[in-house]
Copies of this chain bind each other. A is one copy, B any other.
């Protein structure tokens, strides 16, 4: 027992966070001693509040602390364009980029037969229902390019093709700032196939 009991409890709690090991957990725990009472109480309250109040938006599957999420309830958003994402972290990434004014649909997973995740295990049925109700729907599939992502994209494509809907996926290509000679063959091959004419 190197640590006082309450400190060792706190260290164990921090160690449950993703990517936090013994050393960081100790550092975070000891920093509590230097925080004001108010900050510590706010921290504890914020933890419990987040756990209790956050839930999935019944429309799009994004996380929210209100009945319908702020994006779905925003009058200024174009409800006819639905961007399909794997998880709510991707929503935050798109919102930070800040140029998209449509709405989202969060699948909360990807089809992966090897992990026994089938189409009915993720939010696909609710997406199809949403699309059915729209007049001129456009669906942008924005899933990562892995076996699971590509499988899910293909499955969605097959399902949506039967409906009157415009479908697109994100472009493949070289990421900003990347050195060409460090890119893997598949990315280069796809960037070549998806090349964009810039003159005549």
A residues near B, CB below 8 A? 1-7, 9-10, 12-13, 16-20, 24, 26-33, 35, 37, 39-51, 53-54, 63-66, 69-70, 88-89, 92, 95-96
Contacts and interface: CB of A to CB of B under 8 A. Distances in A.
A144 to B, nearest CB: 17
A52 to B, nearest CB: 8
Nearest to A2: B95
B70 A7 contact: no
A121 B16 CA distance: 38
A144 B170 CA distance: 54
Q: How many copies does the complex hold?
A: 2
Nearest to A53: B6
Contacts of A66: 4
Given A7-B50, A10-B47, A92 B2 contact: yes
Contacts of A1: 70
A102 to B, nearest CB: 16
**What are the nearest 3 A-B pairs in CB distance?**
A44-B44, A4-B65, A10-B46
Given A19-B27, A40-B47, A70-B1, A63 B33 contact: yes
Contacts of A41: 48
A50 B6 contact: yes
A4 to B, nearest CB: 4
B4 A70 contact: yes
B26 A51 contact: no
Contact of A48 (B3, B40, B65): B40
Contacts of A37: 51
Contacts of A48: 40-41, 44
A20 B63 CA distance: 23
A6 B65 contact: yes
Contacts of A2: 92, 95-96
Contacts of A30: 88-89
